[in-house]
Amino acid sequence: MKRYHIISRIAIYLLSVVLIVFGIFHFMYPRDLLVYVPLSLVGGITWAYIVGGAFVLVGISFLTNQYVKLTSYLLVIMLIIFILTIHLPNYNNAGDKEMRQMALINILKDTAIMGFALHIAAGAHHQHFHLEEAD
């Protein structure tokens, strides 16, 4: 059982690094990501920084094993919002085959990260929300 725990921690650390890199990318190249912010959303480029900060904070949470359940669920909610408001409309409205493929890849990538985050949240037994007795 101990070997499984070590492998699980390595997997979580790998996801942490990926999330932190995504976050840093949002801070370094916010203008490149501005095209993904829906025009109806007030704030523009500020959202690139907010999302970048969220990715970095979740990555740090996973690395330090603090607030893992909470940050996992918040990451899942954020990724669902991305899929529904950014990637799915891009997929449906893309005129170019390559843009449609990129939107599908982003949907699949975010879905995979969501699945991993849900698995991490389910494994964070020591971190309860106290919403119910048996968590």
Instruction: Give every CB contact of residue 130 below 8 A, 6+ residues apart in sequence.
Output: none
Q: Residue type for 41, please?
A: L
The domain locations on the chain are: 2-123
- Give dist(CA 99, CA 91) in Å, integer: 7
pTM of the full structure: 0.84
pLDDT at 52: 96
Do 18 and 24 contact (CB within 8 A), yes or no?
no
Of the pLDDT bands very low, low, confident and very high (cuts 50, 70, 90), residue 135 is very low
Question: Using CB atoms within 10 A of its CB, is residue 19 exposed (0-12), middle (13-18) or buried (19+)?
Answer: buried
pLDDT at 3: 63
Write out the two tokens for 77: 């909610």
pLDDT digits (tens, 9 = 90+) for 75-130: 999 999 999 998 999 899 888 899 899 999 999 999 999 999 999 998 887 665 54
- Give dist(CA 64, CA 71) in Å, integer: 12
54, pLDDT greater than 90: yes
